[in-house]
Amino acid sequence: MRVLESFCVYSPASSPSASSLLKMKNKTIVLGVSGGIAAYKACELASRLTQMGARVPVVMTSGAQKFVQPITFAALTHEPVYTSLWPQNFDGARDQYNAMAHIKLADEADAIIIAPASANCIARLAHGLSDDLLSTLILATRAPILISPAMNPQMLSHAATQKNLQTLREIGYQIIEPDSGRMACEHVGSGRLPETDVLISHLRAVLEGHIEYSQRDLEGKTVLITAGPTREALDPIRFLSNRSSGKMGYALAEVAAKRGANVILVSGPTQLATPPGVTRIDVLSTQEMFDAATKHASSCDVVVAAAAPADFRPARYQKQKIKKGDASTQIVLEPTPDIVAHLAQNKRAHQIIIGFAAETGDGRSEAQRKLHTKNLDAIVLNDVTEVGAGFEGDTNRVTWITSGATEAWPLLSKREVSTRILNKIKEIW
């Protein structure tokens, strides 16, 4: 089906930034829309990408057309909307290329994003089915693919759906984690399609990083990355820790590996899958992370300390569970080893050591202090109380600080932050 364009583009109140426009201009972003109530949100995504200078062909499944008419996307993008593998009104040589839209779009795409991706769509992609246009297109392309699941929370958490998502991760597709909240079905939980700005942030990261990944510009380099929290045992049941999810460190590991680096990831306890091509060392306490990082640092060209190790541990471990009725409720703490300071103070001449400073408020003076007292080459500062930044989320807003410069970066996906950090490390080299 080919829907002709003849309408004006919707203009939201907010305008895209100059950097966003630059990354999207003249790019072909194929938007796949599968069946689900969140399909209406894809209209804003199509409109915003079009305003940012991208060409946005839309591919709709039969289920998606039950929620949004193809003519809506044609009006917003000024592009044909593709709904079937089979051409209509085929008239020989003039339209023979359009008869193979799955190949045409596969070759033209700079990136493909499926938003929303239903449970059915995810299952079909995970098993390599190709009996409609969207699934066939995915098999035919070599462009980076982003999948944004959106569905009922129970459907999302079902073991089959989670297994299918893991299969897609292993294939190399980027899964955009859904938001949580109240659903159209009145259930509350994870499964909402993220806001348009978040989807665009992921696209920007892919468009910026995909070129660099193909260059494999970090081949021959060994990068040590620490990630996640640590746990300091109080008794056999309780421990001290923090809210770190490990997503920032894992994003760094993923991007570094795709750019050709040999990556050693020293990880505290997380629920994240190991990025492809990364050597992962699991630890629990700060002392264990210190020991593992120290053991491997001497063979590395770069150390990026993205973990959030606990700063304190109980001075005395209780072998039995502390009872609520115990006479004393005071817990005496002692400092844990400062991992990045030790590595930086003992670094070799060729090594680059990057630290992270998770602060509340501005925090720049504290980050500057850490930069100099710990002998770091650079430090990445972020305010963990800011919306969209800090722990547990997929985005971050950071400030890159060296002894000679300070750069405040906008809200970006953690993958794009990773790309920028690695670009900065290349500049230091």
SS3 for 111?
strand
Sign of CA dihedral 9, 12, 15, 20: negative
Task: For residues 255 and 425, give the distance between their C-alpha atoms in angstroms, rounded to a whole number.
Answer: 13
Q: Tokens in use for 298?
A: 């001497």
Burial 210-223 (b: 16+ CB within 10 A, else e): bebbeeebbeebbb
Q: Which residues pair with 381 in a beta bridge?
A: 357, 399
Who contacts 373 (Cβ-Cβ below 8 Å, separation ≥6)?
341
Clarify whether 185 is annotated catalytic: yes
Task: For residues 113 and 147, give the distance between their C-alpha atoms in angstroms, rounded to a whole number.
Answer: 6
Q: Give me the torsion for CA of 352, 357, 358, 364, rounded to 10°.
A: -140
Which residue out of 8, 121, 185, 300 is catalytically annotated?
185
Q: Tokens in use for 111?
A: 């990136």
Task: For residues 354 and 248, give the distance between their C-alpha atoms in angstroms, rounded to a whole number.
Answer: 13
Contact 104, 137 (CB under 8 A): no
Q: Tokens in use for 296?
A: 């491997």
Query: Which phi and psi angles does 231 have, rounded to 5°?
Result: -125, 130
CA angle 226, 228, 234 (to 5 degrees): 115
Task: For residues 285 and 246, give the distance between their C-alpha atoms in angstroms, rounded to a whole number.
Answer: 15
The DSSP call for residue 94 is: G
| Distance from chain centroid for Cα 313 | 31
Catalytic residues: 185
